Amino acid sequence: MFQKGLKGVIAVQTKIASVDGDKGELKYRGLLVDQAVEGKTFEETAFFLWNGAWPEKDELHALVDELKKERILPVHVTAIAELLPADVSIMDNLRTLVSAFSSREFGLRSPKGQALALTAALPVMAAMLYRLKHGLKPIEARQDLGHTANFLWMLNGQEPLNVHIEALDTYLKLTMEHGMNASTFAARVTVSTESDMVAAITSALGTMKGPLHGGAPSGVIDLLEEIQTPDRIESVIRTKLEHGEKIMGFGHRIYRTEDPRSIILRKKCLALQGEDEWLDLATAAETEIIRLLNLHKPGRALHTNVEFYAAAIMRSIDMPPELFTPSFSIARIVGWTAHVLEQQNDNVIFRPQSEYIGN
């Protein structure tokens, strides 16, 4: 039976994650996502997605140490980064650098070792590429900082604020995995040919680059910057609704109720209230926008999606727009690699048929 875009077609059985749009549920390894991320570090959640169990204390220490060690890139990868043209996008250059990991030595590592190394390296490469692109000297990684804090440090060499580390860390954990999305499917298709982890992640990055999948929350940032202050929320939103403009950050193609990730990000932003003006503006704006949407479009039930609070977080830490999709990839690589590992453990090549409709 032909189904355009394979919509609704089940191609994989997985134990990694599930998405229920009608119930508004996202589960990591059978746990509701709030249980899988709250009170957990990036490293703990990554371990859980890779292994299906939480790390023991010694396992977590070993993981953290290994991730820090892998922040030191292979010499040839750094050399290639310095040769890449500045007019090429960071996502394109990231894809090139990931491909450069395909050395014989890297291929001899265990699949989980490869997953860990690429996860550790991706934010280092993204920060380095950003700085090189703008004529700046790359900043060395710090061994005393966690995964998220080190990424922020390497972008600008400034001590990251705790409020920004907490907000970004929450976003990264919530977007590590989201079922059989386009980039995850691309990774599984690639490795199903018995290609390798590096090729699979390169495929995923190429897919994530597409605006229909890894598109940046720029529209929400534009909205927040237009609002500027809480007293302008109502007037700006009413004007947009009266002119038939779409309010960015509301509604989702999968979730028919509120995006569970936005609930957790809202909770985090409220817990950090008073520490960052952009996070405060987002929580105030959301409440008023929902009220006005219900008045203007009764019965539509438009809910906040993860993009809304992602935009607030990116704006609060002054994340350049060209780093939005790379930052999304820094989170999603955990899910990609988990799916690659699962595919390798029970592999059948993907080989759908096509229906000829020509003359």
- Rounded to whole angstroms, how far apart are CA atoms 140 and 168? 20
Question: What angle in degrees, to the nearest 10, is found between the helix axes of 162-174 and 260-271?
Answer: 170
Tell me what pLDDT residue 212 has: 79
| Helical axes 306-316 vs 277-296, angle rounded to 10° | 150
Given a cut of 80, is residue 68 above it in pLDDT? yes
Q: Is the confidence at residue 298, as pLDDT, over 80?
A: no
Tell me the CA distances in angstroms from 50 to 28, 118, 120, one per residue in order: 11, 13, 14
Q: Dump pLDDT digits (tens) for 144-181.
A: 999 999 999 999 999 999 999 999 999 999 999 999 99
**pLDDT, average across residues 246-261:** 80
Task: Identify the burial level of 15 via C-beta atoms within 10 angstroms of its C-beta, where 0-12 means exposed, 13-18 middle and 19 or more buried.
Answer: exposed
Give CA separation, 38 vs 6, 25, 123, 167, in Å: 34, 15, 22, 12
**Tens of pLDDT along 261-273?**
999 999 999 999 8
> Sign of torsion, CA 313 318 323 324?
positive
Strands (E), the chain: 17-20, 25-28, 31-32
**Spatial contact of 68 and 143, defined as CB atoms under 8 Å apart:** yes
What's the pTM?
A: 0.93
Res 1 pLDDT > 80? no
176-190, 244-258, 284-298, range with the lowest pLDDT: 244-258
Q: Could you read off the pLDDT of 71-109 as tens digits, one per residue?
A: 999 999 999 999 999 999 999 999 999 999 999 999 999
Residue in 43, 166, 286, 307 annotated catalytic: 307
Q: What's the residue count for the chain?
A: 359
- Percentage of the residues of the chain whose pLDDT score is greater than 70: 98
pLDDT at residue 217 tops 80: no
Task: With cut-offs at 50, 70 and 90, classify the pLDDT of residue 216.
Answer: low
Examine the residue annotation and report whether 252 is marked as an active-site residue of this protein. yes
pLDDT of 329 over the 80 cut: yes
The pLDDT value recorded for residue 258 is 81
Q: Which of 16-30, 183-197, 215-229 has the lowest mean pLDDT?
A: 215-229
Q: Active site includes 166?
A: no
| Residue scoring higher pLDDT (54 or 256) | 54
Structural domains for the chain: 28-213+322-345 (1.10.580.10), 218-316 (1.10.230.10)
Scan for tokens 């090189």, then name that residue: 132
Among 147, 164, 178, 252, the active-site one is: 252
